[in-house]
């Protein structure tokens, strides 16, 4: 096994253990000899690069930095974070690799081939207390304990001072309120030291705390919070649209019923690096009636702290990213579902750490001044400046008829622009389509099987959206049924099926979505795919045209009643969209062409532009209509996408 493979192996073992590493945290490095671009042998530190995940890291995840450059920095007294990163970038072996870790100097200054770093819960349970250093050392063995210093060059220099005093039998370095470093001449040696120290901490915690680590559940379950989720989402989206997850699984439900959730709301997270996502405090709502005051008071406290502790950067969103709802569960919110899940995991680990720390001693975290310095860390602020959000990031959309044709393109394009999309269709294939779109776009995109002819199933879908997502921003009423028959041939059964799908289902969906949008208080968009038939009716289309006319009139009423809430409603009138469309299957295309006395190809291109209109044209118009910068002052409009009517 080569040295890089050795490095990868134990790094992954550490990264796969959530008690040690969460969501890209932790670090690992190896010092090796490589040939540079001239063919010379040079000493290189391979350290985890920005964006790499220890659980899945490959050789490409370790950025190379020249050791000679790193060791020369021993003679430098001070560096700001930005100066440090500029120094590191100039010292990289390959500038195209990811930026090296902010702890690169620390790894370089430890004179061992392999170095490992984690944020072990059990180590934090000891160090996030008022426990004395000597007492911690009695538990963990021969370790060096460093008081909390923010990561960066200052911390590396502090450890450099200690290295000359460290005897060869020292097993690790404990950074209080931060984590554990171990080292060795082999990956196995460093890993074994790491696990021995963590196991000592775990054994001590189990012996001293045992079942007392369980949460003290004193509150009853309360499902009444379901009825205020849109209101909460609206408040949390006051600065920019947010998605949220409400975790009601066993652990989060237990937290919400516990005394500890109420106690620890101003205690801080388990480690300072979590602050960038979680903030120092989280919100705690004891009753559905209190939600507005709790969130407003949270904002006020955050704004006050910001004015005291931060000078050089614009304020982050002052809304809470975590809300515990007593007896109901844990809500986390962010721009993306992925971020919501990371915040939730960081929060649950923090509750575990804070619970045990409060039993072992007085639970202590860094002070608020230090915390705001970490939350507004210059390196993270620099990243935020470069961050380009997708147009519909943080929004929630519903597309009906999403398994084919226009709906499928709308499903894809909304997800590509950052929206979290529920794609509804009666075709079971929509489930796989949703998974594929989600994987390709990185947004939560899910297929939902629904029979729109069933009012009960439609209401179940809207219940699911409200309970799962907490609200909605975009509704694309796209689904439809079309059977081409002349007036005297239409059976009542056929007409009623058109009414159910083309009229009643859009009404029920719109009614519920309108209610959610109004309660959110952040506006919203309805877009109806009606048809050219509305303004240019043709023979043999009475079932389709009359029921679509109902939806068109519905769209007008939404605009009239929704304007004062910032809710816009517009209509797209497409014509003859054949690509991947099921509405033209089963002889419909052939029948329409025959009725016109032309060929199928002539029917497809029978417009002023003499070109086939594609689903992409309609989906792109949808994106324009929901764009506040383009269509933000437009409602109750009707736009044809038909190539021009001959």
Shared domain for 350 and 401, answered yes or no, is: no
CA-CA-CA-CA torsion sign (252, 258, 262, 268) = negative
Residue 217: inside a domain: no
Per-residue confidence (pLDDT) for residue 552, from 0 to 100? 97
Instruction: Look at residues 176, 208, 240 and tell me which one is the last residue of a structural domain.
Output: 208
Per-residue confidence (pLDDT) for residue 588, from 0 to 100? 75
Please, is 314 exposed, middle or buried when counting C-beta atoms within 10 Å of its C-beta (0-12, 13-18, 19+)? exposed
| Structure confidence by residue, pLDDT tens digits, 53-68 | 999 999 999 999 999 9
Shared domain for 253 and 279, answered yes or no, is: yes
Shared domain for 372 and 414, answered yes or no, is: no
Q: Find the mean pLDDT for residues 200-212.
A: 95
Shared domain for 465 and 586, answered yes or no, is: yes
Q: How far apart are CA 73 and CA 70, in angstroms?
A: 5
Contact 639, 571 (CB under 8 A): yes
Shared domain for 159 and 52, answered yes or no, is: yes
Residue 572: inside a domain: yes
CA-CA-CA-CA torsion sign (587, 591, 592, 598) = positive
Residue 592 has pLDDT above 80, yes or no: no
What is the enclosing helix (H) or strand (E) of 347? helix 337-360
Contact 170, 146 (CB under 8 A): no
Instruction: Look at residues 383, 415, 432 and tell me which one is the last residue of a structural domain.
Output: 383
| Structure confidence by residue, pLDDT tens digits, 222-237 | 999 999 999 999 999 9
What separation in angstroms does the CA of 50 have from each of 35, 53, 342?
A: 23, 9, 17
| Structure confidence by residue, pLDDT tens digits, 77-95 | 999 999 999 999 999 999 9
Closest CA to 402 of 439, 438, 441, 448: 448
**Beta strand spans in 204-288 (E):** 243-247, 283-285
Shared domain for 473 and 579, answered yes or no, is: yes
Domain around 569 = 396-640
Shared domain for 7 and 76, answered yes or no, is: yes
| Structure confidence by residue, pLDDT tens digits, 507-558 | 999 999 999 999 999 999 999 999 888 888 888 889 999 999 999 999 999 9
Shared domain for 434 and 401, answered yes or no, is: yes
Instruction: Look at residues 151, 181, 208 and tell me which one is the last residue of a structural domain.
Output: 208
Per-residue confidence (pLDDT) for residue 634, from 0 to 100? 97
Closest CA to 502 of 555, 573, 572, 550: 550
CATH number, residue 418? 3.40.50.720
What is the domain count for the chain? 3
Shared domain for 44 and 74, answered yes or no, is: yes
**Beta strand spans in 164-287 (E):** 172-175, 179-184, 243-247, 283-285
Residue 390: inside a domain: no
Shared domain for 440 and 578, answered yes or no, is: yes
Shared domain for 165 and 262, answered yes or no, is: no
pLDDT band at 587; cut points 50, 70, 90: confident
Contact 136, 174 (CB under 8 A): yes
Residue 412: inside a domain: yes
CATH number, residue 374? 3.40.225.10
Shared domain for 141 and 175, answered yes or no, is: yes
pLDDT band at 331; cut points 50, 70, 90: very high
Residue 389: inside a domain: no
CA-CA-CA-CA torsion sign (369, 371, 373, 375) = negative
What separation in angstroms does the CA of 238 have from each of 289, 290, 566?
A: 19, 18, 14
């Amino acid at each position: 096994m080569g040295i890089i493979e050795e490095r990868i192996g134990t790094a992954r073992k550490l990264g796969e253990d959530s008690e040690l590493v969460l969501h890209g945290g932790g670090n690992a490095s190896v010092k090796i000899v490589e040939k540079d671009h001239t063919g010379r042998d040079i000493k290189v530190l391979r350290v985890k690069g920005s964006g790499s995940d220890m659980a899945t890291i490959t050789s490409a995840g370790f950025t190379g930095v020249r050791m000679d450059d790193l060791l020369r920095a021993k003679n430098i007294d001070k560096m700001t974070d930005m100066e440090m990163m500029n120094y590191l970038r100039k010292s990289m072996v390959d500038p195209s690799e990811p930026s090296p870790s902010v702890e690169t100097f620390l790894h370089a200054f430890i004179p061992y081939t392999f170095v490992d770093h984690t944020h072990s819960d059990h180590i934090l349970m000891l160090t996030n207390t008022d426990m004395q250093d000597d007492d911690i050392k009695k538990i963990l063995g021969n370790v060096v304990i460093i008081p909390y210093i923010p990561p960066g060059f200052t911390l590396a220099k502090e450890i450099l001072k200690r290295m000359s005093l460290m005897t060869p039998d020292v097993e690790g370095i404990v950074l209080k309120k931060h984590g554990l470093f171990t080292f060795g001449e082999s990956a196995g040696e460093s890993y074994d030291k790491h696990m021995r120290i963590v196991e000592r901490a775990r054994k001590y915690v189990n012996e001293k705390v045992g079942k007392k680590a369980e949460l003290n559940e004193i509150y009853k379950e309360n499902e009444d919070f379901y009825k205020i989720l849109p209101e909460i989402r609206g408040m949390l989206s006051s600065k920019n649209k947010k998605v949220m997850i409400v975790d009601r699984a066993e652990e989060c439900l237990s937290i919400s019923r516990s005394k500890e959730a109420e106690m620890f709301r101003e205690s801080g997270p388990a480690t300072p690096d979590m602050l960038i996502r979680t903030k120092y405090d989280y919100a705690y709502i004891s009753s559905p009636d209190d939600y507005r005051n709790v969130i407003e008071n949270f904002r006020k406290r955050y704004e006050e702290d910001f004015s005291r502790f931060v000078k050089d950067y614009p304020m982050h969103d002052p809304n809470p990213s975590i809300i515990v709802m007593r007896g109901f569960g844990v809500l986390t919110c962010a721009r993306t579902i992925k971020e919501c899940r990371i915040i939730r995991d960081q929060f649950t680990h923090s509750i575990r750490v804070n619970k045990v720390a409060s039993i072992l001693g007085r639970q202590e975290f860094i002070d608020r001044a230090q915390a705001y310095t970490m939350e507004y860390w210059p390196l993270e602020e620099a990243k935020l400046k470069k961050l380009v959000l997708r147009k519909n990031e943080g929004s929630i959309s519903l597309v009906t008829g999403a398994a084919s044709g226009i709906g499928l393109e709308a499903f894809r394009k909304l997800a590509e622009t950052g929206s979290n999309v529920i794609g509804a269709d009666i075709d079971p294939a929509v489930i796989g389509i949703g998974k594929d779109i989600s994987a390709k776009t990185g947004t939560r995109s899910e297929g939902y099987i629904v029979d729109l002819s069933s009012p009960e199933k439609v209401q179940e879908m809207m219940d699911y959206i409200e309970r799962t997502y907490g609200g909605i921003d975009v509704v694309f009423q796209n689904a439809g049924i079309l059977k081409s028959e002349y007036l005297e041939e239409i059976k009542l059964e056929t007409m009623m099926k058109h009414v159910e799908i083309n009229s009643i289902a859009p009404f029920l969906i719109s009614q519920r979505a309108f209610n959610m949008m109004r309660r959110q208080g952040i506006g919203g968009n309805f877009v109806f795919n009606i048809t050219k038939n509305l303004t240019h009716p043709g023979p043999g289309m009475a079932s389709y045209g009359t029921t679509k006319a109902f939806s068109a009139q519905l769209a007008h009423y939404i605009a009239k009643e929704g304007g004062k809430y910032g809710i816009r409603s517009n209509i797209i009138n497409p014509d003859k969209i054949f690509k991947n469309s099921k509405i033209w299957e089963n002889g419909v295309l052939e029948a329409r062409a025959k009725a016109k006395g032309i060929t199928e190809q002539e029917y497809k291109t029978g417009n002023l532009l003499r070109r086939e209109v594609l689903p992409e044209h309609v989906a792109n118009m949808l994106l324009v209509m929901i764009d506040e910068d383009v269509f933000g002052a437009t409602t109750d409009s009707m736009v044809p996408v038909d190539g021009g009517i001959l």
